[in-house]
Amino acid sequence: MKRLKHYFLIGLLIFTAQFWQSVLYGQSNFSDSKGAIGITYSGLGDNYAFYFQELVGSGGYEGKGYYSFGITYVLPITKSIDIETGISYSKYKYKFSNASLGPEAPDPNDVTNAIIDIPLTVKWTFLKYFFLNGGLLLGIDTGMKNEQDSQTGVGTMFGLGAKYDLENIPVGLFVNPYYKIHSLIPFSMEKYQLRTDESGFRFGLVYYLP
């Protein structure tokens, strides 16, 4: 949680600088666009794996980083409300430590996992350059080199962002600090479900459709 607050503070500084740049140099208005499509990259944050219950002897997963690439589609509903969906591919790395003690305990080992997400989120724009976003996502665990419980299920995410439209061309940029949890409602039948989450930054470039 402390790291998440740290990232939000950094993001707030970036947003403030971007706001004043927009005020000084102007910004084109593409609010009449029928929507936007774009590409995204997520990373520069932390990832975790955890149980909601406190389990004895289950071992532990230490997040060692992640990255994500995606395609996004934004559909305007009103001047300030948008619906956003798309698809993204994320790869995560963890170090698993067995709970066994003594000389017979196995050494910690690296664990990787990959998830495909299909989000459905709502974005509310305020003060022209900033937005809040959040909603649900369908996570599909690819099962490649996966030693964890399946992360296929319904998850959620929320974030705070800032956007900037380039002058005279229908292209926009955005940065979006966020928090995401996978498999909040899992599709697997595990009695004690291991869940994963992440916090970091999502960067994107969008093209406004005419």
Query: Would you say residue 200 has pLDDT above 90?
Result: yes
Q: CA triplet 88, 94, 96: central angle to 5 degrees?
A: 145
Taking phi first (over 0 means left), then psi (-120 to 50 degrees means alpha), and beta for anything else, what does residue 45 get?
beta
List the beta bridge partners of residue 139: 117, 153
Complete domains list, the chain, with CATH: 2-209 (2.40.160.20)
Selected residue with higher pLDDT from 143 and 128: 128
Which of the four pLDDT bands, split at 50, 70 and 90, describes residue 29?
very low
Percent of the chain with pLDDT over 90: 38
Alpha carbon 54 to its chain centroid, in Å, reads 26
Distance from C-alpha of 3 to C-alpha of 185, rounded to nearest angstrom: 25
Find the mean pLDDT for residues 60-70.
Answer: 82
**H or E stretch at 19:** helix 2-25
Contact between residue 157 and residue 137 where contact means Cβ atoms under 8 Å apart: yes
Tokens 């996966």 sit at which residue?
146
Q: CA triplet 184, 190, 194: central angle to 5 degrees?
A: 50
Of residues 175, 113, 167, the one with CA closest to residue 140: 113
Q: What is the 3-state secondary structure (H, E, C) of 126-186?
A: ECCCEEEEEEEEEEEECCCCCCCCCCCEEEEEEEEEEEEECCCCCEEEEEEEEEEEEEEEE
Res 108: pLDDT: 60
Of residues 42, 28, 32, 58, the one with CA closest to residue 194: 58
Determine how β-strand 81-97 pairs with β-strand 153-165.
Answer: unpaired
Tens-digit pLDDT profile for residues 77-89:
988 899 999 999 9
Selected residue with higher pLDDT from 12 and 194: 194
Tens-digit pLDDT profile for residues 74-122:
999 988 899 999 999 999 888 766 655 555 555 566 778 888 999 999 9
Please report, for the chain, how many H helices and E strands are present, in that order.
1, 8
For the chain, the first-to-last Cα distance in angstroms comes to: 41
